[in-house]
Chains A and B, each alone.
Chain A
Amino acid sequence: MPVDRPNANLRPLSLHVPEPKFRPGDTVDFSDLAVPPAGAAPRPASDAAPDSFRDLAYGLVRVLGEDNRAVGAWDPKLSPDRLRAMLRAMALTRAFDERMYRAQRQGKTSFYMKSTGEEAVAVAAAFALLPDDMCFPSYRQQGLLIARDWSLVDMMNQIYSNRADRLHGKQLPIMYSVREKSFFSISGNLATQYPQAVGWAMASAARGDTRIAATWCGEGSTAEGDFHSACTFASVYRAPVILNVVNNQWAISSFSGFAGAEATTFAARAVGYGIAGLRIDGNDALAVYAATEWAAERARTNQGPTLIEHFTYRAEGHSTSDDPSQYRSAHEAAEWPLGDPIKRLKDHLIALGEWDEERQAAMDLELAETVKAAAREAEKNGVLGHGLHQPLETMFEEVFEDMPWHLAEQRQEMLDEAKAAGLEIGR
């Protein structure tokens, strides 16, 4: 029986599939991107109720203005020494990335991921957190470890999966684990660290501790269920956690529209959960510092979680396995209206009369040398090559605390086969 449709004259339904503004070869024009002036956003008291500052989830907190001055209520008023230390950590992160990217291209390892253009997101956050606040990073926050003065050689050993790799060559390059620096083991699966960070923060609160947790994911991974589970838990238990969304515009080849950016901001996710939400200029180290400091104070005083969207740009490919020229305009990075985070902090220090181009150039040289020396040191322990740097039987270790018989049996099988084939066994 035909259905009687009252709106029979409607046009057929159509499906909206998002499309980024620019593709390879396109001229880039970001002039329609709303960039409010630095210093314009109000800074609520750290105990203000989240629903009293919802606008901050839709705006953009900026501290460094076009004139390279720090302005407004969010200016964290850091000493020149602190600013220089932050600049140095960001520059070191970039130098490290350059070197390790090259190492991958030279065949010394299988995989690398740069954080170019996003250094402020990790480095300034690490400066604003306490050293024992627990970080649950994604794979692009190497700046946390560098800002916490972790050994570059140790990181490189991991990247090379070499004999000195503390993770025994078990994990993909750059998926560090550094308990000593309150840096959780990186998964590689997306947003899984989000509920884990919330759980850690809940445990800290349940135990009457003072430490808080912070976690990071990309804007693309906010689509994962884990993200939403984490936001629900964080909201329900008012967990002392900082939820960072690094909106670098691209999830491999999918622009932020595929995670919902055409409809609203990522910080606005916080509004639905009733938690504090901030959208900030992620290329402005002072804004990142100030937002993190504010969120940390909220967390430490039982005001609960804060979700911070860091609006930034992934200036390079997703990883060494990616070629962004295949899907986006090569001009985007240069045209990015929020500039480069290192240049902006450098220009700020120069504007303050606390730095100059000569010192910057000298520092860059020195850091390149530091990284080079670290790489030489790490390479003494071997580079990935064809792998096999660890004794074969270690493959079966650390699956469980104690090895069950079936793993011991498989290990023996492998060793017997290797021996029969005349292979070097190792240990």
Chain B
Amino acid sequence: MKKTIFAAALLAATALAGVANAKTLVYCSEGSPEGFDPALYTAGTTFDASSRPVFNRLVEFKPGTTEIEPGLAESWTISDDGLQYTFKLRPGVKFQTTDFFTPTRDMNADDVVFSFERQWKEDNAWHKYIPEGSYEYFAGMGLPELLANIEKVDDLTVKFTLKNKEAPFLANLGMDFGSIQSKEYADKLQADNKMVQLNQMPVGTGPFTFVAYQQDAAIRFKANDAYWKGREKIDDLVFAITPDAAVRLQKLKAGECQIFPYPNAADVPAIKSDDTLTTMEENGLNVAYLAYNTQQAPFDKVEVRKALNMAINKKAIVDAVFEGAAEVAKNPIPPSMWGYNKAIEDDKYDPEAAKKALEAAGVKDLSMKIWAMPVARPYMLNARRAAELMQADLDKIGVKAEIVSMEWAEYLAKSKDVKRDGAVILGWTGDNGDPDNFLHTLLGCDAVGGNNRAQWCNKEFNDLVLKAKTTVDQAERTKLYEEAQVVFKREAPWDTLDHSVVVMPMSKKVKGYIMSPLGHHSFSGVDVEE
């Protein structure tokens, strides 16, 4: 293994020295990838360095949107009962040729079947190729229970059979765990008894070929000459791993990198006023919420929840916590997602009305707990600060709020409890751009005691999202989800807090970068001006 890396690095070094005028894009990334087999992980940082540059999926998200477009599958058909998905694969797609692997055949159905069966079937030799590894996303999206069969029909046709109807299935296949691996490469590693290498030196069909990873320092890729969508404009792509946001900014200013993610909110105004830099913004596919425990008095009463929603000044929270880099949320799904109901009216901030509503509901001297997350997440940078502002707001209507916080894993575990005492600040970042991934995952009846932190089971709402889940036609689904949002707002299991805005600073020389609402950082199609 060491020898291979050494040889690879040496060759790459010679290659790099040879092309003095190579166009290079340096991306100051925020952290180290955990590994290079995307199916084993759930973190965006890992996906940015593995699935996005190196791999493709059967279906892809159209750049800048959450819509599905053909990827390695040229086309697909769905049977009338919605249970069979037949994919026609793109012919002539080449896997990357690297210093450690030379493919002898094009991508075909065997690769697709392998890529999913290894995650699915426990008797597959690759299911536990790393004893500590598990396929968290594949399991988390419910695929082990959903899949009935994956079958190679011919070299360029694969058929997936499901146990029940699942409209978001296609979107799930566009997720990172759906990256198509080379079975030929895997077989070679297995024969050489070097299986763990699959997680260290990836081979895919994507726009960039993996060259080397210097742990915690840099990841190097070069343009894939045989890329099926055409070779990239840049020759080399380098990730300079830079954990501190202030240092990333300094590196951008000094020209040590050309683009970086996650700037400090406080630095954004200065970046915007710098002539040599530019910023792009995109609404994040996320939501932060305050979930009441709707199974507990007095929060089981809609009137009480509504009154509290009216008492909390969300605009002030967004201004204080995000310095403007977020918008107030009125729906549980973000506005950039299809199915978002624009017509919904948010509960108005009105402490007087809130006070009256609370009195009308017969609630006096209410004291409650507000749970504040101990960590910063993209949807909520400072939950403690948000909770303090809520506490002050609630005080104005005579509600005494106590802020509680605990260690993150414990917070996640205890907030699930049906008997939990208090309202919880938490949030969600979308996985696949499908409204089901928010509405059903976070608010469905079967998620009570789990992801449904409001412990809210409303038959009307649940029926709507379940129906949408099994309806294939998107226009019809949109209607169902819009209706579900009306029920949600009427019943108010959450106070929807915010959707954050993602800012990406870059040098003015960077052209053609497209921000992904899914939070991916992909450099396909990017050019750097000389």
Partners in one complex: no
A residues at B contact (CB < 8 Å): none
B residues at A contact (CB < 8 Å): none
